[in-house]
Amino acid sequence: MPKKHKPKRLYQVWKGNNRFFCSGRLIFGPDVASLLISTLLIVVPTIMFCYQITAKIHNRDKLHDEVKINAQHPVLQFPVLIVTIIALITDLYFLFMTSSQDPGIVLRNARPPEVDEASDILTPSMEWINGQTPCMRVLRAKDVIVNGFAIKVKYCDTCMLYRPPRASHCSICNNCVQKFDHHCPWVGQCIGLRNYRYFILFISTSTFLYIYIFLFSTLNIVGEKNNYPGSIWNVMKKEVLSLVLMIYTFVTVWFIGGLTVFHLYLISTNQTTYENFRYRYNRKENPYSKGILRSFTDLFFSKTPPSMVNFRSRIPEEAPETRSYSPNAEMSMSSAKEEIDIENGSKEASNEHIPGILQNLEYSSTEDNNYNSDDEETREVDHVSIEAGEAIYRSAFMEEDRMTAAYESALEESYSSSTLIISDHNLHISRT
C-alpha cells in the first residue's frame, strides 16, 4: 500500500530568501553566517577579560613581593567576573532573539489584488502597473489615513500586495516587513516590528559590556602602576592583555555606542531608520509621533504582535491538472510551454506523441495531395452550390406564377358574382 505523503509546510515553499531551522521554528536571514562573526566579536574579548580576572585572583598571593597585588587595590575581583558573565549571557540571548524570529514578515499574495473599477474613474491620473493578466491594472500607490494624515502606501510587485503603513520590502530577504527599520548584516536579519525591541536590548547590552570591559581594563592598568617600577608604559608592557582590551573596546564603543544613541533618538520620536533617512520628519510633522514616554512604554512594555505568517502551517496539495480530449482525436498535444519552445526554435519537436504509422510519412507529398484534394473539393462545392441556387430560384419563380394565377382567378370569380347580383336586381325592378 503506497504511503501518503504529508503536505509540505509553508516554510518549505516560502519564496523569500530566509533560512529556516528546527522545522520552521527558527527564522534567519540569508546572511545568517554573519551571526557567527558577531558572536565571536563579543565572546572572544569577553573571554579574554574573564581569563585576566581569574588569573589575577589565582596568582594574587603567589606573585613575587615586588609585583604582589596589594589588598588596597582590589580592581579585578570575583564580583567583576560575575557581572561580566551575566552581561555576556544576556547579550548573546538578545542577539539570538533578534536573529532567529520573524521580524514582521507580511504574508504575500499568490495573485494580484482585484482592481477597483471605481478607482479608475476617481483617480485617472494615478500611475498604473500591469498585473500578470493582460487585463489587470493595479494602482502603483494609494493613500490611507493614519492619525489624521494621508499616508501613501505602495504596491509591491514581488509580494503582489499593498504594503501596510511603515512597511517596506527588503531586497536582501525578499520580504515585505512591518515597520521596517533596516536590514542589519551583523545579526543577519531584518529589523522590524517584532524584533526591534530585542535589537535595542542587544546593542544596549553590547554597549554596556564593552564600556564595562574598557573601564576595568583601564582601572587595572592604573591600579598596577604602584606595583611596577617606572612609568605607565612599563605597566602597559606588563599588562598587555588589558591594553589590547582597552584599544578594542574603545574603538567598538564608538560604533555600537553611537548606534545605540541614534536608536534612542529614533524611539523618542517614534521613527524608524528607513523613515529617518527617507522622509526627514524634522522638516514636517511626524504622523506617528506620540510622545517620548509613550514611545518607550509601547516599545518595552507592550506585548509583541503575533506573526502574520504561520510558517509551520501545512500547504494543501494542488489537484493534478486534467485535460479534456476530443473523442475523435488521434494524438495527444504537447504542453503549452513545449509548443512555444518548438515554435520559437528553442526546442526540437519530439515524435514520441505521434503514432508510429505517421512518423515516417513524406509530409511534402502529403501536403501537395492535400492541396490538390482541397482544390477538387472546392470546385465540387462551388458546382453544387450553383445548382442548388438555380433550383431555389426556379421554385420561387414557379410559386410566384402560381400565386398570381390564383389571385387572377379569384378576381374573375368575384367579378362574375357581382355582375350576376346586379342583373338579378335589374330583373326584379323591371317586373315590378
Which sequence positions are flagged as catalytic?
A: 184
Q: Which helix (H) or strand (E) holds 179?
A: none
CA–CA–CA angle 23, 27, 33 (5° rounding) = 110
Express the helix, strand and coil content of the chain in percent, nearest 5 each.
Answer: 55, 10, 35
- The span from the CA of 230 to the CA of 290, in Å, is 59
Cell of 29: 536571514
- Which are the contacts of 83, defined by CB distance < 8 A and separation ≥ 6? 212
Check if the beta carbon of residue 95 is closer than 8 Å to that of residue 105: no
Q: Which conformational region is residue 21 in: left (phi greater than 0), alpha (psi within -120 to 50 degrees), or beta? A: beta
Q: Which residue pairs, CB below 8 angstroms and at least 24 apart, start in 156-165?
A: 157/129, 158/108, 159/106, 159/108, 159/109, 160/108, 160/109, 160/110, 160/111, 160/112, 160/113, 161/106, 161/108, 161/109, 161/113, 162/113, 163/106, 164/106
Read off φ and ψ for residue 19, nearest 5 degrees. Answer: -115, 130
- The span from the CA of 245 to the CA of 256, in Å, is 16
CA–CA–CA angle 163, 167, 170 (5° rounding) = 100
Cell of 37: 562573526
Angle, in degrees to the nearest 10, between helices 34-59 and 240-269: 130
Amino acid of residue 313: S
- The span from the CA of 27 to the CA of 217, in Å, is 37
Check if the beta carbon of residue 275 is closer than 8 Å to that of residue 307: no
Task: For 1-40, give one letter per residue: b (16+ CB within 10 A) or e.
Answer: eeeeeeeebbbeebebebbbeeebebbbbebbebbeebee
